[in-house]
Amino acid sequence: MLEGLNKKLKNNVNNLPKIIAITTFLTDVACLYYINNYWLKTKLSSLITMSFKVQGFSSVSPSTMKQAEAVLGNSLGTMFFFFLMWHLFIYILMFFKKDWAINYVYRYVFLTIVLTLFEFVVLIKDFTPWFIFLFIITMSYGFTYLGLREVKKNSAQSS
């Protein structure tokens, strides 16, 4: 089975950057969905509380907490939007087989996989649906990494 998949992969290496660009963009959207709907909702208020304690505030009013959450949430939302737009630009260039865009995505997905493995250590004890969702996202990035490795091998052989 793997040999058949490997042959298909090698026969379609020219189309692989296009497929990977679309898949990785969709995976980024799914990853940001995870961050927005799980991580921020469960971790943001505790991080803000910890930040206030480090600054010497023993207690904070609920309205101040709500304002801090709104400011930080809006700032992160803006940052995630620009992150997604930057990656959309990179994926468009990768769609047209630009070498530096392929190298960027190759390194990006590798680092994403490594960092997600650290998060698995924390999430494994709860084994929530988010853990499964994150596992699927990581598998998608893993297939992207393997596909880009084939693209890089093919471009090195044709040079």
Cα dist from 47 to 41, 43, 118, 128, 130, whole Å: 11, 6, 19, 21, 20
Amino acid (1-letter code) at residue 66 = K
- Using alpha carbons only, how large is the chain's radius of gyration in Å? 20
Q: Where are the domains of the chain?
A: 16-154
Amino acid (1-letter code) at residue 82 = F
Tokens for 108, please give them: 């990006």
Residue (of 118, 113, 121) closest to 149 by Cα position: 113
The pTM assigned to this predicted structure is 0.77
pLDDT of residue 4: 65
Q: What is the pLDDT of residues 49-90, one digit of tens each?
A: 888 888 888 787 888 888 888 898 889 889 999 999 999 999
Q: What is the pLDDT of residues 88-146, one digit of tens each?
A: 999 999 988 888 999 999 999 999 999 988 888 877 777 777 788 888 888 988 999 98
| Contact (Cβ atoms closer than 8 angstroms) between residue 152 and residue 106 | yes
